[in-house]
Structure 1
Amino acid sequence: MPCFKPALSFKFQDIARYRFSVLRMEAPYLLVEAYFLSSQEDFQTMIYGFKLATDVTDLRVIGMLKEVEEEVTRKVKGTRVRSGEKRSPEVEQEHELAVALQARIKFFRVFIMALLAFSKKELKAGVEEAKKLIHQALDLLPVIRNSIQLGIEPETQTRENTHPKAPDFPLLMGFEPLVNQRLLPPTFPRYAKIVGRDQAVDYFDALLKRLLSVCDVIHIVGFHFIIDFVSQFSRKCPCVLSRSILQLVILPHNNRKVFGVELVQDILRDAVRSFVLPPAVAARSPLYNNPAVKEMVDALLLHGVRPMSNFLQTFGHNRARQRDKLSQLLEEMANLQDEAEKVDANLHGLMVISEPRRPYKACFGSWVMYHTLRAMMAYILLGFELELYAVHEYHYIYWYLADFLLAWYISTLTRADNMLQEHEAAYMDIPGKGRSNKKKIKKKKVRPLEVELLLSQGLQTLCLGFYKAANGFMLEGKIQRPAREFDSEHVRFEHRFAAFNCIITPPLVQYDQYYQICDLKLFENQPNRATDIYFTAHNLFMKALVIFEKITNSSSED
């Protein structure tokens, strides 16, 4: 960027217009910077005083690119073959170059317009516009890919003038990749390599397809489903730009409303209503019109805006940074848990007065517990993905996940499912009976939490199978343990789960409790004990398979 001279010094106006467009490619930089999702390892936010043509508006830049594109289009039409006319090889080559240049200029313009469309005030209209522009850009990529060979080739670096090697950066006229090397901050050395042109086209193809999937999020209804979408999107390890745009679409930085139209506390209210339908938010409940109840619930939901928004934003970071953010998020969730318990206690007292025959259950506490457990399980599972655990640690990691976290998670889902059915029967409108005496075929109603409950049960069974298998491997010596004088399982256990110290419910499991249940020394002298453990693990794996197949079959029938 600093190698560009002022635009007035250019004789060729097309180059000047293109120069402005390159400088105005700060749009991705601004999108990334707005949500602080970048880390030092995947994005450099400093621009070191580079002037990015801020005096030129985005609309003017798009107009400049359109002018360049029209001029190149005239060149394409002027060199196009006409019926009954033969072209010279020079004219044919000029036509191919013009077509290739036209595709690149148009792609550049459409790509910038798509990025800018995500930032429009009318978010849903902007996303639909961006979707159309992304499809246009994808249609241009085959033309760009097929014309790569028409460009000039970089010089090949040589080692000792004898052995050619692939260059780390292309040596092209007018391009100096190391011009700002002295301006970079003092950090540890990194291997930087500019990818080839084929790889660059592949990257843009993958990026545009990721942005297309981002556009689908505006059709999702419900806070829980939005979190599921963001979590699934994050598992594909997308780039920082697509992660930032996803956050921009869900919570625009200019108004902090979900999809730019609904307050976060309102969508949280709907999420609680769909999860357990508390009497405090049920229209037919006597607590619904109580001003004190409304004030307590509003205060709780307002207090939950920050941790729940941070929960969404956590999945916008790269996978390594997510784990750090989840440990920080758990502290906020602990405070929200305390607030929810106080609200439930106050609502219980009011419920005894208004509906003494109907006991009040911890509705808001169950909802906060559900998200707390999700964050705790995500923290543990990310450790496997990032390969943070040694093999000799697998047994207590899987035990903690299966016997503790997933057990609490299944209990919370079961309790929420029962509360939801009970409250729906008490507070939802019952449809009137029709006059027709014809018997109608009733389709079995799928409960909202049924699939998630089955999925968590299958995951728990699978983790128990892994735990048993790891124990069998350790009994037979197939997993090498560290030397005792240099190792302490107690210290390792506490270190792995130290992030859960701030959570009161569920309480942190102490190592002594685990040791009393799972000490392998109790089974070392028993004959065929490892074989029995392997058989138990096999049965657990088969049981998990049956559960997952049940989920697959039910989803295919729907």
Structure 2
Amino acid sequence: MTDEMEAANEKEDVTNQANNQIPITAVGCSTDENDISKQFFELCQGLTSGELVTSSNFKMSEAMSAIELMEPKMDVGVGSRHIKTLDNAINMGLYADDYPMQLAVLDATLAMMVGWIDGSSLGSTVWTNIMLANVKNLRHPIFHPFCAGVNLLVRNIHALVNTVGNLEELPEDFNPQALFMTTKWASRGEIVAMIRDQIAVLSQIGKTWTACPRASQICTAITCRLEFVVLLLEIMGVLVPPEIENPHYDQRLGHMVLQNDHAVVNGFQDEVQPEERVDEDKEELKNNDLAKEVVQNMVEQFVGKVAEEGVKKGVEAAAKGNNGGPPSPASAPESPAEDPKQEDEEETEDSETVESDLDDYQFKPNFELAQILVQRMIVVAKCIKDTVILGRKSPDNVDGDYSWLTPFEPKACIRLTPACFPRSVKIPTRQEAADWWYDCSLRIENLVQVCPRSVKDLNTLFYFAKSFTLDADVFTRSLLQVCMFPTDSHLCGHDERTVADPIEVTLINCYSPQVLRQDSPAFKDPECRILYNTFLQQMTKLAITIYSSFGCNLSRQRDRLETALEDLATCQYHAIELDDRIDLVMIDSGQIGRREENMSFQSVVTFVFNNLLATSHHYFELGFRMDLYVPYEFTYIFWFLGDLEARWQMTTMERSREIQLNFYRQSPFFRAADETMTKQRHIYEQEMICRMESHKFNVLNQMSMIWMSEGMIKLTVALIRMKVFRMPDGGDEAERLRFERRFEPYQCLGSPLNVTYEEFKQRSGVDDMYKQPLIDLIDRAAQNFEEGFVRLQKLDNSKEQNQDTNHIIAIAKANSFACKILKSIDVKEKRIEWSFQKDFPIFPVLTIKSIAPPAPKPKAVAPLAEPESDSTTTSPSAKKTEPVSPSVKPTSSPAKPVTPKPDSPSVKSASTPSKPVTPNTKQAPSKPVTPNAKSASSTPSKPESPPNSKPASTPSKPPSEPATPPVKPAETPSVTSTPSQPASSKKGKIRTKRRSRSFPNQI
């Protein structure tokens, strides 16, 4: 039966049912079939719970898909029987000369692209614009080039993310889509030319609208949208390898097809003869700009080589002719063209030369041209950001899913959306999308400027990648990975520079192993060279693994760093073997008598351990950024960060400094007298000064982190003892399990990073902190924070590498001041929170806020029919007494305070991370808070013990410690301007402040 007949029968059935000509059964089947519902349910009673009936022609996935399609709440659910088509949109006025509506459509399409990049599927965002799937049928001068450019841009981003492979979740969003595989796309050159032609037309039209400034502004705004798409395509063209943009791209010129990406178009082949297609390909290849650029680069790169080989052949032929004389007529052919063997040899040599030359070609990102393009893109993005208001206003000023615009249909491409559970699709507004694209332009500018300069050493390489990916999206993260490794391990497509080069530069400059010094016997030892090559190979693989993890979101980065810690343990093993062999060779050569006399003793091991500690620090930093740690875990988290990680990091830095100074004193530049050596010595000393200056900042930062970690441990114990928050149930055994789970990735490592729970309890002294006086414990915590920033204030923190120092100073000052306030307040009347800085989340800031009093209830108003004689008196019926807490007398206390809701306006914090208040800041005096009589009683109490440890034997006369610290009215600073609250109010609880995410939703 044909499709037309089936459609006619369906239409007839619907008409008959509407006219009540065919009765409909309860189960919805036709009359010629039997109703098996009763029999089916009877058979189902024989099935037990969990038992499943299977059949050869039935699958559970089919049933699930049917259920999802019939449920409108699902992502693929069909909620309506009619889906808008392009013809419907045209009839609704899509082609009307309504420039505000056209501008709104362009902005909405760009907003849908942002929603897709931020994590939603294509079918629920970009492809809801029905024009994108019908570009060939569009006949609009603005929509046609714009939609063609957006389609190509979406396909290029889709191919880029899949090629990089940094996406491990939500596979339905970036898996190969049917629209990409069954559609023929125009080349980038054609689309760019088409858009630029329309830009020129709109520019001329805008100049003629001098009488209507608003129309001219809208015309300019539309031009900016078109140019923005062009600039994005061109930037990707110069930064991304062409095989990503074109899956049929071939580096050999004879097989280069730039415009015919897919041979299958809508299920059938192109009706073009092979001979005609070859002629068309050759003609289009001549007129293609990308092909001309590739040919020109190849000619410039290999013309010298080909010319040199031609000169050599000519010289050899001339030498043979002069020395041997002319060939004999019997052996020589009549003409050179008549010798088929010679022709075959020449053709073979030429083809081999061309093939070898083409094989040497490697794509290199053009960062210079990209910088020019991105500067223009920033200007255009700024214009888009400022002209969004010129578009059509949305109903009720809510953009929503843009279904109020003519070309948008939420269910337009529902057939292309894979079956999945319902998700909350977040579609940004047009203004939010414009701001996002402007920020994206700035990120691309940062990439093209810093990326080629970040490959000089290992520290710079990873510092830029880590800082760049914190605010980047999946598009710019993938772009960074492709720019750094376009085809293989060669950095930025450089012919000779690989990842091993920054590793060797860092080793030579900071650790100077003997195996890399030409005047050392270890340099000439074959076994040392073999061990060094093995070590360098392992470190290169590890560096690529860690760098590629920066292309993922924060969660995937943290998972891959756990694997990197295991790989670092393997590198540590190879480094130990290499250092042992170097010491043995140095002793055998007679240069040293003992291993410790080696100037670079254990240099390679120190290098690996330094990178291990840096990776561990980043691992914990990602955990803080994702709010994985709760406040009662801060004791062992900050003990590990301070007492282990920071102390050992400082030790490796000091060892690196010692090695550099030892080699400088032994270098020939140290005692140079002639002018040439003096100049070289001056250059060498300048490099040493720069490294030592950076080293000083890093060492002081680590020292400050040690002090701040000790302060965090003491402050956390004090808050537990003050009942601000309680430990979870389970006792010491539950605490041990939490400790082992947090440090599970370190079990593959040896000492000193692999520690046990007993070692933590013994070395940290946490149990003793529960026995010390509470006031003394808080004072010691404040003193630790002060030690953390006193030394750092004297340094110059203007350099970018030392920005961490500014964050440490601000956090230390804020926590020190918060400790002093904490001693003189009643924590029951305050709300205490931990807040984290976006740029430096490794250390939180303690904020203290007052609990807002309850809103007063409105007084009853007497009715107008019974006016009162005296305006100052109130009728008895209008008086209402406030509810009073049973423990407080109504005559002496106000109403019981209520904890404010999260969305209520908060009172000014006592200490904020952005602008900490110094302890000497002058504040207005305020009335001291009077504690409750019960809490202020002088009855001695037993000393507190750790909540997760067994009660120890106490002395006969334990030191007294009040449940609430005593109040000192003379030292009480003014925290807020709110009136003091009774001591019997609701207890304040500490909560980790959930900071607003500065990153877009990761895909």
2:985: which partner in 1? none
Partner of 1:406: 646
Task: State the 1:173 CA deviation.
Answer: 0.9
Deviations 1:308-354 (A, max 9, x none): 11122223322222211111111111111111111112222112122
C-alpha displacement of 1:497: 0.5
Q: How does 1:318-467 map to 2 (within 5 A)?
A: 318-354=553-589, 355-357=591-593, 358-359=597-598, 361-426=601-666, 429-430=669-670, 432-434=672-674, 445-446=689-690, 447=692, 449-467=695-713
| Matched-pair contact (CA < 8 Å) for 1:138–1:205 | yes
Summarize the Cα distance change of 1:199–1:170 in structure 2 as closer, same or farther, 3 Å threshold.
Answer: farther
**Structure 1 residue 435: Cα displacement:** 7.3
Matched-pair contact (CA < 8 Å) for 2:402–2:408:
no
Deviations 1:72-117 (Å, cap 9, x if unpaired)? Answer: 233234x243xxxxx3x5xx55534332221211121112212222
CA–CA distance in structure 1, aligned partners of residues 728 and 180 of structure 2: 56
Q: 1-side partners of 2:765 and 2:502: how far apart?
A: 47
Counterpart position of 1:160: none
Q: State the match for 1:546 in structure 2.
A: 790
Task: Give the Cα separation in 1 of the matches to 2:750 and 2:728.
Answer: 33
**1:553, 1:7 → 2: CA distance?**
55
Hey, what does 1:27 align to over in structure 2? 156
**Correspondence 1:117 to 2:238:** yes
In structure 2, relative to structure 1, the CA distance for the partners of 1:96 and 1:475 (3 Å cut) is closer
Runs of 5+ consecutive residues of structure 2 not aligned to the other structure:
1-125, 242-361, 803-1003
Match in the other structure for 1:84: none
Question: In structure 1, what residue type is equivalent to 2:225?
Answer: R
- How has the CA–CA distance of structure 1 residues 145 and 435 changed in structure 2, closer, same or farther, with 3 Å as cutoff? closer
Contact preservation (8 Å) 1:18, 1:64: no
Other structure's SS at 1:482 match: coil
Q: 1:234 to 1:461 in 2, by over 3 A?
A: farther
Please state how far the C-alpha of 1:45 moved relative to its aligned partner: 1.1
Helix, strand or coil: the match of 1:288?
Answer: helix
Alignment of 1:110-259 (within 5 A): 110-119=231-240, 123=364, 126-155=366-395, 167-215=400-448, 216-220=450-454, 221-235=456-470, 237-252=471-486, 254-259=487-492
Q: Identity, % of aligned pairs?
A: 20
Alignment length, in residue pairs? 533
Partner Cα distance (1:408, 1:183) in 2: 54
Q: Structure 2: how far apart are the matches of 1:521 and 1:300?
A: 44
Q: 1:165 to 1:35 in 2, by over 3 A?
A: closer
The question of whether the paired residues in 1 share the 8 Å contact of 2:146 and 2:229 is answered with no
Which amino acid is the alignment partner of residue 537 of structure 2?
L
Q: Which whole-Å CA distance do the structure 2 matches of 1:382 and 1:95 have between them? A: 49
CA distance in 1, matches of 2:799, 2:133: 60
Task: Provide the residue aligned with 1:17 in structure 2.
Answer: 145
1:502-549 Cα deviation digits (max 9, x unpaired): 1124341100111233464445455x2x22222222221111102332
CA offset at residue 257 of structure 1? 1.1
- Which letter maps to 1:130? A
Which one-letter code corresponds to 1:173 in the other structure? Answer: T
Select which of 179, 189, 196 maps to 1:50: 179
Kept in 1, the 8 Å contact 2:664–2:670? The answer is no
Q: Superposed, which structure 2 residues align to 1:294-333 within 5 Å?
A: 294-333=529-568
The SS at the match of 1:44 is: helix
Corresponding residue of 2:885? none
Distance 1:504 1:518, change over 3 A: closer
Q: Which amino acid aligns with 1:65?
A: I
Deviation at 1:470, TM superposition (A): 1.3
Tell me the alpha carbon deviations over residues 110-157 of structure 1, each in whole angstroms, 9 at most, x when there is no partner.
Answer: 122122222266646x1222222111112123433443344334456x
**Alpha-carbon shift at residue 42 of structure 1 (Å):** 10
Q: Tell me if the contact between 1:169 and 1:194 (Cα under 8 Å) persists in the aligned partners.
A: no
- After alignment, is 32-41 or 537-546 more displaced? 32-41
* In 1: Cα distance, 2:769 partner to 2:703 partner: 28
Provide closer, same or farther for how the CA distance between residues 263 and 473 of structure 1 changes in structure 2, counting only shifts above 3 A.
same
1:548 counterpart letter in structure 2? L
Deviation string, structure 1 residues 470-525 (Cα, Å, up to 9, x no partner): 12222333331112369710000000100111112434110011123346444545
Counterpart contact for 1:250–1:260, Cα < 8 Å: yes
Q: Mark the CA change 1:522 to 1:102 in structure 2 (over 3 Å): closer, same or farther.
A: closer
Specify the alignment match of 2:880 in structure 1: none
Cα separation, 2, equivalents of 1:497 and 1:59: 54
- Report if the CA contact (8 A) 2:399-2:430 is conserved: no
Aligned-partner residue type, residue 309 of structure 1: I
Amino acid at match of 1:267: P
TM-score scaled by length of structure 2: 0.50
Q: Secondary structure at the match of 1:501?
A: helix
1:161 maps to none
CA drift of 1:8 comes to 4.6
Equivalent residue number for residue 483 of structure 1: 729
Q: Is the 8 A contact 1:277 1:424 kept in 2?
A: no
2:646 is aligned with 1:517: no
Instruction: Indicate conservation of the 8 Å contact 2:385/2:438, yes or no.
Output: no
Q: Tell me the amino acid that sits aligned with residue 36 of structure 1.
A: G
| Aligned partners of 2:510 and 2:660 also within 8 Å | yes
Greater helix content: 1
Residues in 2 aligned to 1:153 and 1:555: alpha-carbon distance in whole angstroms: 46
Q: Distance in 2 between matches of 1:413 and 1:377?
A: 15
In structure 1, runs of 5+ residues without a counterpart are 82-86, 157-163
Q: AA paired with 1:500?
A: Y
Tell me if structure 2 keeps the 8 A contact 1:234–1:316: yes
Deviation at 1:5, TM superposition (A): 5.1
In the superposition, relative to structure 1, how do residues 434 and 546 fare at CA in structure 2: closer, same or farther (>3 Å)?
A: farther
Letter paired with 1:324: D
Of the structure 1 ranges 493-502 and 341-350, higher mean CA displacement relative to structure 2 is found in 341-350
1:499 partner letter: P
Q: The residue matched to 1:244 in structure 2 has which SS? A: helix
C-alpha distance in 1, partners of 2:607/2:581?
Answer: 17
